[in-house]
Amino acid sequence: MILEILTGDRSELRQQSRSIAGIDGAIQQLVADMLETMRACHMASLSAPQCGKPLRLFVTEIYGESKVWMNPEVLKTEGEQASVESCASFPDLTLEVPRPQTMVIHTMQLDGSPVVQTISGIEARLVAHELDHLDGILFQDHLDAESLFEQMLGTTDEYTIQGEDPIASDDGPFAADSSFESGQAEIESDEEELQHILDLLADSGWKLALAAELLRDYELDEEQEAQLQRLDGLENAISESVTYWENELSAGSS
């Protein structure tokens, strides 16, 4: 089954995910659905929180090899790499984000057996991106307001990793969470249409918060400060509205 991918700076994507206590039929089905969704959307990785499940679980697939990562724990990191990433939860945003070059990860496989993996390069970048999702961290959180704004305007120079395989380029199929087709079903109900509207609201909310933070860097007169406070009020109103309609949507579907 193709799962819906949550988009925008939503409360569900800001949660700390809980560990998986045991592997049952529901977990196995979720993994199968996540793999199907990832492939249908032409992505290289996908986390459970992005699918509305606050579990410490994500899947990856590069060079034809798929992996399931459950209850992952970082044992060691070395070096640093930077490359432009995209995220299925922010389909219109690409950012240059620093990531470890090499990682040692303890994780649990689908059969319940523990394994320690040493990964590097593209795979380390994907895993670091998805690990953030498990802790409620979004990729824009790694940048300060000014850097984020500059990158959103496209003013930063293109960055490439020396010696990296061309098929793993920033706009290729191995960009974290990258998606070249939405993979989402056509809107078939009022519920789905409302969900898309909420996604738009959530997206506008975090961009408004960024704009307000940038304005605070300027010396503002009294009238300008008043206008900034109005922006803060609008940001809060959007956040409250998203929360309200999310609750209404949940109540209507239960």
Annotated binding site for Fe cation: 87, 129, 133
Rounded CA Rg of the chain:
19
Beta strands 65-78 and 102-108 are antiparallel
Please, what is the angle between helix 190-215 and helix 145-152, to 10°? 120
Task: Write out the E strands in 4-101.
Answer: 45-47, 57-62, 65-78, 81-87, 90-99
Cα–Cα dist 42/48, whole Å? 17
Binding residues: 87, 129, 133
- Percentage of the chain beyond pLDDT 70 is 79
77-133 pLDDT, tens digit each = 999 998 888 899 998 888 889 999 999 999 999 999 999 999 999 899 999 999 999
- Please give the positions annotated as active site: 130
Say if residues 105 and 74 touch (Cβ distance below 8 Å): yes
Residues 45 and 130: beta-carbon distance below 8 Å? yes
Backbone angles phi, psi at 247, to 5 degrees: -65, -40
| CA neighbor of 218 nearest in space, from 144, 156, 146 | 146
- Bridging pattern class, strands 45-47 and 90-99: unpaired
Residue 186: its pLDDT value, please?
Answer: 39
- Write out pLDDT tens, residues 50-75: 999 999 999 999 888 999 999 999 99
Report the C-alpha gap between 171 and 84 in whole angstroms.
8
Report the SS3 class of residue 178.
coil
Q: pLDDT of 155-182, one tens digit each? A: 444 433 333 333 333 333 345 564 333 3
- C-alpha closest to that of 83 among 100, 68, 69, 67: 100
Evaluate whether 176 touches 87 at the Cβ level (below 8 Å). Answer: yes
- 3-class DSSP state for residue 55? strand
